[in-house]
Every structure is written in C-alpha cells, then in structure tokens.
Amino acid sequence: MTSLSSQERTVIQTLLELNYSVRAIARFINRSPATVSVEIHQVTSYKAEIAHALALKKRHLRGRHDTLTPAIAVF
C-alpha cells in the first residue's frame, strides 16, 4: 500500500465536506475504499493538514527517513 499524498488528502477533505461517500471518494482519487476509510477514521473531524502531519510522523517512527544519514551512506 502506498501512502496518500497531501493533494489526495485535500481532495478527501473537500469531498467529505460535500457529503460524498467513502466509495465515491475512492473512485474519484483511484484508491481502494478501504484505504480511504482507514485514512478518514485516523483523524476525528477529518482535516487534510492534520492527517498529513500525522502520516509523516508515523512514517518517521517506522524508520523511513527523507534524508540519507552519514551512517547509512557508509553502509
């Protein structure tokens, strides 16, 4: 499963505000309804900026980093 982009999260927020269903949102962004459902339920009162910040924090906790550290470069 690939993570959602900031733009996809913004689309989810907009379509939720327009009362689209989870399945309709999933079709619109070409993602699985399960992916959209999990994303929506991770943040109470879904806000794209908060959801994206939370996802980046979780990615960092899993050990995925955006930069190459000197220790990894030596390896």
pLDDT at 18: 96
Q: How big is the CA angle at 6 (ends 57 and 38), to the nearest 5 degrees?
A: 70
User: What pLDDT is stored for residue 7 in this prediction?
Assistant: 94
* Average pLDDT, consecutive stretches of 10 residues, N- to C-terminus, the chain (75 residues): 84 96 97 94 87 82 64 73
**Contacts of residue 73, Cβ cutoff 8 Å, sequence gap at least 6:** none
Coil, strand or helix: which one is 48? helix
Query: What pTM was computed for the model?
Result: 0.70
Q: What is the pLDDT of residue 1?
A: 47
**pLDDT value at residue 62:** 64
Count Cβ neighbours within 10 Å for each residue of 14-49 and write b for 16 or more, e otherwise: ebbeeebebeebbeebebeeebbeebbeebeebebe
User: Tell me, what's the pLDDT at 42?
Assistant: 86
